[in-house]
Every structure is written in structure tokens, then in C-alpha cells.
Amino acid sequence: MTLYLLLAALLVAADQLIKYWTVTVLQPIGSIPLWQGVFHLTYVENTGAAFSMLEGRQGFFIFVTIAALLFMIYLYKTGMFKGVLGHLCIALILGGAIGNFIDRLRLGYVIDMFDFCLINFAVFNFADICITIGGAIFVLLTFLDYKAEVEAEKAAKLAETQQKEEEQA
């Protein structure tokens, strides 16, 4: 797990470096179109969640982040997510959550910069990408674990039925 904690720390560092660049280079000019009308780098101070939902509720977001971090630690300690994908999921979510948490504590808002304006999507940041990918892996692993559990139950019932048939014969 030490390797994955190191990965989480590197993700936090990458997030903070990208945000530093965003503040020093992008903030003074506002936006740089990488593909005009499709994808821009745009400086945004987000006091809410995605699409600025719950704007200005920093206390709530700090509480939710702490709860999420504690939940990830709990999942690790209980062994719910084992193996490379499970630990990668935890590292991505931890790295992203801590990256945005630092902004909220230090600045009172999160710095966003990736602006997929073709579909008027929310402006997001590297930490958000980490959280989203980690969350997708979490959902996938949860689904696969549930599916394996259902298959095991079916196999157990089938074995039980076969055993009863053999006893009757």
C-alpha cells in the first residue's frame, strides 16, 4: 500500500503544480483556447461542487471530504478493495480529494481550469479527474464483487439441489 500512498501524494503534487501554473499564467489572461469553441484552459474559482452546485458551502465540502477520506481508509483497512485496481481506486480518490481539500482550506474555493465548452460542461481540474476515474473504478469493482457474490450463491444453491437429488436417488 505504501506505493499507492506515494501515488496519491504524487497526484496531490501534480494537482497543486497545475493549479499553481493556472494561477500564475492563466489567471491574468483568463482563458487560452486550445481548440476554439471546443476545449479551453480557463481560470475559474469554484466555491461549489460540479456545475457550481451548493455554491459557498465550504464547511459542508470540508466535512464531506473528511468523511470520504475516512471512508477510503476504512475500505482499505477492511480489505474491501484488494489488488492493483482496488488500491489504485483508493489512491486516485485520496489524491483528488486531498488536492481539492487543500484549495478549500487555503483559498476558500477550488481552482478549475479544464473547460470543455463544446457541450457547456462544468470547468474542472486534475483532482476532479482523479476522483472521477477512482470513482468509476470503485463502481466497477463494487459491481464485479456483487456479481461474483451472486454467482457464488447460484453455484451453492445448484450444489445443494444436486446433493438433495443424489440423496433421493
Q: Which residues are catalytic?
A: 112, 128
Longest dimension (CA), the chain: 84
- d(Cα 125, Cα 114) in Å, to the nearest integer? 6
Instruction: Region of 106 please: left (phi>0), alpha (psi -120 to 50) or beta.
Output: alpha
Show the beta-strand stretches assigned E in 47-117.
Answer: 110-115
Which amino acid makes up residue 20?
Answer: Y
